[in-house]
A and B are shown apart, each in its own frame.
Chain A
Amino acid sequence: MRHFKASHFRAAVAAGLKRLEAEKEAVNALNVFPVPDGDTGTNMYLTASRAAEEVSRTSGDQLHVLAQAAARGALIGARGNSGVILSQFFRGFAQGVGKLSELSPLQLARALRQASETAYQAVLRPVEGTMLSVGRAISQAAERLAREANDWETVVVGAMESGQQALRQTTQQLPQLRQAGVVDAGAQGLILLFEGFVLVARGQAERMDEVTGPVMSEEAILAAARTATAYPPEAGESAPAQPPAAGIVETEIVYGYCTEFLLLGPAPQAAHLLRTQLEHLGDSILVVESDGILKIHVHTNHPGQALELALSMGKELHEVHINNMREQNRQAAARNTFSSNNEISNRAAHTSVGTNHKTGAWTMPESAPATQTVVSSAAARAAAAEVSNSAAVAVANGNGIHRILHSLGVAEVVSGGQTMNPSAQDLLEAIERAPGREVVLLPNNSNVIMTARQAAELSSKAVFVVPTRSVPQGIGSLLAFRADLSGAENEKLLVQAAARIRTGEVTYAVRDAEHGQHSIREGDYLALRDGELLCNGLDLVETTVKLLEQLVQSPEDCITLYVGESVDQGVVSRVEEAARSLVPAGEVDVYEGGQPLYYFLIAVE
């Protein structure tokens, strides 16, 4: 019997990555919507490349060590909804491998099933006709074949056929795909990655560079995609039917303690050694090196052993935080019920600060707050003003937008959103940089929401994701942000505020497309209302005004226009004028957003 070994996995991941790299533009073209947004192919490629990077950095011939390295890389490298789901395949696969250093065909099939199941669990409302159904088809076929097969190669090659079939079926499973006559982009991406396994199984991986074009039979599918007329947004992900608040569902906490600390004076190679050795103690491992200090994060049932292990590789431990995650989970479950209690304790905290004032201030003019005799009272007031219980982190593009977000009290702004989706690690680093132990995270893009939830799960801080789907919605919700309140209270306030905002976006078509009733030519202006295509046209002002007319519901509405980079001032003036006439009793404000690709971002409330 031939087993699936570490060397096979190593080669398969590398080969799958090459396939993704070669075809990522074709996968991008499968996006159902012709807007210049974050792309499925690029997101899956970048996610897989982090997985491959971790694998190549990890030595040894134990499959489980490599599988966990891949999972770790994919988890923090995850970009876009497709990347997050892909990372869950890797994670599930690693769980399926367990502690085995190689797999029999049947064990391999079970690991593939675990991969598929974990990915399904990652999505609140799984949609058929996406990479989820392709992953399941592969794993089901693998289990069937493994019962009879004597070698893993047969299992993989046979399973691919079912995967291909499932891929072709996606066209029929989702209406948008049917109309465009293409397969689902995420599903295609998964097939490309799995091709790496097939190439290794067939002994073709080494000769890959000589092989031109896809090895398997989906050449025609990709060709169709290249000429395909078009599709909905990075929604092209599995997303047209992606639930509004898709999130990671953690069914059970395997490792109970989130353990986080700094290691000063680490020995050479300590980062690498810790990454691999901590694998034996738990998961969600993160070892980040900066300025000669290692920041270590692990979920484990043995925090003490993790600390000892690190101590053996460096001089000192600092800022040790150990949180019982099972307890946090129970509290989170109870949070809604007890939110009013939080508020009370919060107020009590303020009182203790605010009442710390001295007597004898009477000789001083009141308007001089810093005079000596009132110092303690003024200091108490100042201290009260500084009370900061949570920080906000937001994702957005454009200098003007960044300035506005900072002015609203956002501690860290991560560049990205449209054009480039940030990775879970990008978000995680911003969360860690933000002050305080509680963070409110605003993805400001539907395709960043899952990444945000993933980053939230990886972070040891209490992270509250407010699932904002656009920058205008994010800014609108931040008007309710209060650093003095807890993360949970802010989450509630921001979600309410976000619900009051209607979003408009004006961009252009990157290619010809048929979408719903709309016949779109490359270069057309596209107007989106709350993420849905409303109209397209050849005149920027006209298209934008049409959108405004649909967004405005009352003459008392307030319109905020965020102008993109290099939009003609004359265009801005005409749009502003039209906006004012739509809301005679409301307000119109125009700000320089400086965002690329989107001429106007619009909030109406």
Chain B
Amino acid sequence: MSNTNGTIGSKPEFVVVTDSGADIPRSYQDEFGIRVVPLTVRMGNQEFADGVDLTIEEFWQRVRQGDVLPQTSQPGPADFERVYGPLVEQGYSVLSVHLSGELSGTVQSARLAAQYFPPRRIRVVDSRSASIGIGMLAIHAARLALSGVPCEDAEALIGKLVGEVRAFFTVESLDWLRRNGRIGRAKAFLGAILNVKPVLHLEDGVVAPVEQVRSREKSLRRIVDLAEQAASGRPVQIGIVHGDSPAEAEELLEKARAAMNVSGAIVTPLGPTIGSHTGPGTIGLLLMPAGGGR
């Protein structure tokens, strides 16, 4: 591993850019200097830039009130250009980490925008993940930047980590994923007459089924079991995301800590971008090797 001992405090060579699908809490964005390009959320006739003129709290409040199905649209290349431009002018390279290309065209917009800049100044990574799965990758990338790792090496390291991020989750109703066309292979679980809870995961960037269980409680336990198997004893960084059910998220965190060697945890509500597709009552446990597996 070369060049990991850059001088702390010196100016990092690159800046990390991501999108609002990464669900990175504001405090982390500030601490690590991560730039977030918002997706657009449409509710009825109104449009919002996620995290800019629509907060997470407002979003969930509106979802609870109305029966309107929120929809999202990806940022265009121009939106990325506006973020990349000033950074490049200031002499930075950019590592741009985004929503799974299987779930959104966001990463394509980023790639198109990158073509307007000199070669290798903007490096775009498809996270093959969503929500805090991207978030953990982006935060790790920012740590690498702060420790002086060049952008090229960071891209390679993050590229390797992409395959190691796992995401297990359950939703209150598969309808949200279905109506927005993100149901993926979990389509097999549609149409169940029984009152069952789907346990899902992201596989190659696509929503995929694990199994169906009889209760919410069992689905949470199953999610922890699956994460524990995936961790197989190694220390892990975890993220817990929820569709506006903080108490359950705390409960899940407790269970996860009991089951695994958790070196760090981020608990955060799902923002409008992901929440629009999964609906309320979604809860997920995402993990990756602690310290990027080094």
Contact = CB atoms under 8 A, between A and B. Distances in A.
Interface of A: 347, 350-351, 354-355, 357, 359-370, 374, 377-378, 381, 384-385, 387, 403-404, 407-409, 475, 479-480, 482-484, 493, 497, 556, 558, 560, 585-587, 589, 591, 605
B108 A361 contact: yes
Interface string B159-195: 0000000000000000000001111110110011111
A362 B109 contact: yes
A605 B74 CA distance: 43
A586 B102 contact: no
Given A366-B104, A558-B218, A408 B194 contact: yes
B77 A362 contact: yes
Given A367-B180, A403-B193, A351 B211 contact: no
Nearest to A400: B193
Nearest to B204: A354
B111 A556 contact: no
8 contacts: A357-B102, A359-B108, A361-B74, A364-B105, A378-B181, A407-B194, A483-B188, A558-B218
Given A354-B203, A403-B193, A585-B217, 5 more contacts: A362-B76, A366-B71, A409-B188, A560-B214, A586-B217
A535 B216 CA distance: 33
Contacts of A385: 183-185, 187-188
A605 B214 contact: yes
Contact of B192 (A381, A407, A585, A586): A407
Contacts of A351: 204
Nearest to B211: A480
A558 B195 CA distance: 11
A482 B111 contact: no
A347 B191 CA distance: 25
A362 B108 contact: yes
Contacts of B261: none
B206 A404 contact: no
B209 interface: yes
A381 B194 contact: no
B42 to A, nearest CB: 8
B275 interface: no
B215 to A, nearest CB: 5
A61 B74 CA distance: 80
A369 B218 CA distance: 32
A381 B108 contact: no
Interface in B201-226: 203-206, 208-209, 211-215, 217-218
A359 B102 CA distance: 11
Interface of B: 39, 42, 71-74, 76-77, 101-102, 104-105, 108-109, 111-112, 180-185, 187-188, 191-196, 203-206, 208-209, 211-215, 217-218
Nearest to B181: A369
Contacts of B77: 362
Contacts of A479: 194, 196, 211-214
B102 A589 contact: no
Nearest to A350: B204
Nearest to A363: B76
A589 B185 contact: no
Contacts of A560: 194, 214
A381 B203 contact: no
- For the complex of A and B, 5 pairs with smallest distance between CB atoms: A369-B181, A367-B71, A361-B105, A558-B214, A365-B73
Nearest to B113: A362
Contacts of A408: 192, 194, 212
B184 A362 contact: no
A493 B102 contact: no
Nearest to B193: A407
B206 A366 contact: no
Contacts of A585: 217
B185 A357 contact: no
A223 to B, nearest CB: 49
Given A361-B108, A362-B109, A384 B184 contact: yes
Nearest to B105: A361
Contact of A482 (B72, B108, B193, B211): B211
Contacts of B213: 479
Nearest to B80: A362
A351 B205 CA distance: 10
Contacts of B212: 408, 479-480
A408 B77 CA distance: 43
Nearest to B39: A366
Contact of B105 (A362, A387, A404): A362
B58 to A, nearest CB: 20
B195 to A, nearest CB: 5
A35 B188 CA distance: 37
A381 to B, nearest CB: 6
B175 to A, nearest CB: 14
A355 B126 CA distance: 12
A355 B204 contact: yes
B78 to A, nearest CB: 10
Contact of A347 (B102, B184, B203): B203
Contact of B108 (A360, A378, A484, A605): A360
Given A377-B102, A408-B194, A558-B214, A484 B181 contact: no
Contacts of B206: 354, 381, 384
A475 B188 CA distance: 16
Residue with the greatest number of chain A CB neighbours at <10 A, chosen from B73, B194, B203, B213: B194
B222 to A, nearest CB: 10
Residue with the greatest number of chain A CB neighbours at <10 A, chosen from B104, B181, B184, B218: B181
A407 B188 CA distance: 9
Nearest to A365: B73
Contacts of A558: 214-215, 218
Given A366-B74, A377-B102, A404 B193 contact: yes
